[in-house]
Amino acid sequence: MLLISLLLLPACSSRGGLSESTSLAVLFVACIMSGISTCILQSSCFAFFGTLPTLYVLGFVFGSGLSGPINSILRIIIAESLPSSFNGVKTGATIFFTIGMLLMFITVVIAFSLQYNHIVV
């Protein structure tokens, strides 16, 4: 569900001619879907990491806490580098969601490649 919410805005923007109200509605739906899926994912991750030693829980909590400032800094950089017009905001949102989608894809590739790593048991 999180990947679908991240794909909504870039997929709709690639078609071109979206009005401001349509883009706002797509962004609103994407944010709601992202919030719901993040809630489900975080509760599942805390339930999973709760069964592991405390070092793993510490790593998960540290990564969760670090993702907020990184997310905010990335959004500020994108917002300041583009004009504050409708097209600038739409382009910024497309860039932001595309970067999020790429990071999720890289994470999935790394997670699947860990099963072939001989160091990780």
The pLDDT of residue 13: 63
pLDDT at 12: 66
Where the chain has pLDDT below 70, the residues are: 1-18, 120-121
Phi and psi angles of residue 19, each rounded to the nearest 5 degrees, phi first:
-80, 170
Q: Given this model, what pLDDT does residue 73 score?
A: 93
Return the axis-axis angle of helices 86-113 and 2-14, rounded to nearest 10°: 140
Which among 121, 115, 107 is positioned nearest to 45, based on CA atoms? 107
Residue 41: the pLDDT is 85
DSSP letters spanning 107-120: HHHHHHHGGG-SS-
Q: What is the pLDDT of residue 15?
A: 62
Percent share of the chain, pLDDT over 70? 83
> CA–CA separation, 102 vs 65, rounded Å?
20
pLDDT of the residue at 69: 93
